[in-house]
């Protein structure tokens, strides 16, 4: 780990703040990160091989997407054993080795937890579906059909139309918010809650540093099974799911009470961290509810940036104002790209240079007040990969083609070098490698001091070594035209972050004349700020 990153972590220790406050977390999608055994699928040993590289970026932690036992209908988010490692990713010993090496390199390890549903291959569901009176009969959401045999209500799933699947073993329907192979757990049942808390304890005892909680607001349903009303809000509607206001099929008001039970366990382990993924129309309200006070979760993130088709000054201002309380009462997290959304620079460039957009996004993300997430390949400036229809594997993309871009283009293999397999480890990986990515490989960019990779390291080091960027209050002080100026303040330090979201050059604001320029982006200087230019001034 480089000296500047250590200085940043030392500063956080001196400030007596938890390690996660203002942390940069690097997301790893294990299937696509590094293949150690040439089977076309990335694995835990592959991640371990690249831990030093991740540490060199200047991040605080890694978040690893699911590697648990699974039939892989939804590529690991359909869990068949919460405490088992799927053989395609390795063994428990492989995970323990990864954990130890990450800790040796100063990195915390966050793992995904999927508590709203399981795979239909999970032993809990196998028993639950056997009868209406077995010990786990109420561990999932079961309901009788209407008199005409139709489903119990009008609820629609995210992926595949109706949320109800008929099961002849029980002569009942079971509920699924996602794929039919992902039945929803009945988290209203205290026994199910106890089982989930036992899962969390298992991984905490292994030594993980925290959890990213998947699809958390899908965790509880309306026990009365009332019909969802029509969605009154305007917007694109490509699925039956989009036509409903999901007030009964998700977001039940009992979720926070369960989170308090869960957090009580997690917080009994020193230095642990929790972040919730929250989507939907009520995302902001739910994120704040789930993180309210000191008895629930630490932070949450939503999809405002992940699903935004354009990056605008107004979008950023709106997002900042939603969370811009002074102090630490509300602490958000932000991500521009992840495994569930098309890569940000492809959504936002709109014909502009992808490299310029990548640098602009990196600086903007590092300037925000909260925790920030960096998705694998984002530090290289990778664009959304082109995956032909015949190579698609994402069930959502296949079902909704061509209306939904899908997730495969953001999940293609990491580009390590310019070999045929891109250094991934297999010549025929599970998703194809986009030829446009080869020139952006780690090996190529390591040699170029002006590369996006080294630029990313630079801006993360600036963030790590300046408390104003890590923890400071945030004030929006300029919004004329396409200019946005963010002022960050902490313990006497003041940093101004100036951004030009427009397509034309502008004169640099007067604030530019005060202090030291820490970073000039895309040709910006004391006189002018080009399109997609930025300045960080202390």
Catalytic residue positions, numbered: 214, 277
Query: What is the rounded CA–CA span in Å between residue 119 and residue 318?
Result: 38
Residues with Cβ < 8 Å from 410, sequence gap 6 or more?
337, 338, 339, 340, 341, 342, 343, 375, 384, 385
Residues with Cβ < 8 Å from 10, sequence gap 6 or more?
none
Selection from 447, 424, 311, 331 nearest residue 376 by Cα: 424
- Write out the DSSP string of 144-187: PPPTTS--SS--B-SSSSBSEEEETTTTEEEE-SS-TTSPBB-T
- Write out the DSSP string of 273-315: EEEEE--STTHHHHHHHHT-TTSS-SEEE-STTTT-SS--HHH
Selection from 161, 202, 208 nearest residue 180 by Cα: 161
At 220 the three-state DSSP class reads coil
Place of tokens 């979008």: 315
Q: Give CA separation, 26 vs 33, 55, 57, in Å.
A: 12, 10, 9
227 neighbors 146 (Cβ within 8 angstroms):
no
Q: How many CB atoms lie within 10 A of CB 400?
A: 16
Burial 140-164 (b: 16+ CB within 10 A, else e): bbbeeeeeeeebbbbbbbbbbebbb
Q: What's the N-to-C CA distance of the chain in angstroms?
A: 25
């Amino acid at each position: 780990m480089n000296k500047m990153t250590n200085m940043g972590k030392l500063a956080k220790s001196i400030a007596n703040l938890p390690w996660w406050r203002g942390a940069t977390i690097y997301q790893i999608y294990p299937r696509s990160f590094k293949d150690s055994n040439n089977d076309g699928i990335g694995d835990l040993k592959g991640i371990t091989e690249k831990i030093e590289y991740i540490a060199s970026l200047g991040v605080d932690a890694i978040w690893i997407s699911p590697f648990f036992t699974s039939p892989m209908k939804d590529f690991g988010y359909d869990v068949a054993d919460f405490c088992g490692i799927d053989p395609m990713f390795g063994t428990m010993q492989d995970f323990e080795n990864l954990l130890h090496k990450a800790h040796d390199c100063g990195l915390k390890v966050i793992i995904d937890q999927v508590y709203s549903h399981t795979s239909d291959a999970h032993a809990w569901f196998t028993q639950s579906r056997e009868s209406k009176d077995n010990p786990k009969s109420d561990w999932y959401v079961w309901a009788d059909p209407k008199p005409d045999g139709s489903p119990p209500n009008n609820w629609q799933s995210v992926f595949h139309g109706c949320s109800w699947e008929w099961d002849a073993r029980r002569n009942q329907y079971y509920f699924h918010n996602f794929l039919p192979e992902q039945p929803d757990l009945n988290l209203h049942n205290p026994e199910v809650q106890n089982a989930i808390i036992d899962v969390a304890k298992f991984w905490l005892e292994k030594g993980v540093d925290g959890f990213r909680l998947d699809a958390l607001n899908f965790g509880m349903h309306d026990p009365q099974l009332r019909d969802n009303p029509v969605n009154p809000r305007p917007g694109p509607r490509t699925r039956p799911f989009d036509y409903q206001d999901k007030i009964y099929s998700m977001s039940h008001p009992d979720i926070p009470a369960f989170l308090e039970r869960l957090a009580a366990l997690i917080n009994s382990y020193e230095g642990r961290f929790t972040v919730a993924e929250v989507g939907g129309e009520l995302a902001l309200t739910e994120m704040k509810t789930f993180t309210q006070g000191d008895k629930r979760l630490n932070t949450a993130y939503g999809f405002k940036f992940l699903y935004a088709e354009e990056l605008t000054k107004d979008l950023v201002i709106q997002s900042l104002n939603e969370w811009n309380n002074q102090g630490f009462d509300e602490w958000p997290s932000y991500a521009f790209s992840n495994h569930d959304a098309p890569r940000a620079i492809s959504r936002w460039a709109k014909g502009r240079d992808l490299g310029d957009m990548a640098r602009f996004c990196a600086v903007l993300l590092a300037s925000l007040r909260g925790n920030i997430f960096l998705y694998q390949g984002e530090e290289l400036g990778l664009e959304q990969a082109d995956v032909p229809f015949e190579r698609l594997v994402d069930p959502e993309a296949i079902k909704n083609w061509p209306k939904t871009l899908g997730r495969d283009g953001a999940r293609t293999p990491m580009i390590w070098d310019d070999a045929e397999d891109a250094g991934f480890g297999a010549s025929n990986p599970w998703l194809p490698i986009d030829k446009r990515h080869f020139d952006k490989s780690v090996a190529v960019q390591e040699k170029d001091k002006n590369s996006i990779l080294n630029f990313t390291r630079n801006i993360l080091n600036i963030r790590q070594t300046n408390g104003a960027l890590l923890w400071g209050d945030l004030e929006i002080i300029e919004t004329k035209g396409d200019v946005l100026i963010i002022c960050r303040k902490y313990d006497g330090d003041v940093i101004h972050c100036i951004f030009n979201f427009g397509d034309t050059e502008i004169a640099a604001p007067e604030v530019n004349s005060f202090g030291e320029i820490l970073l000039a982006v895309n040709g910006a200087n004391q006189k002018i700020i080009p399109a997609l230019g930025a300045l960080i001034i202390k």
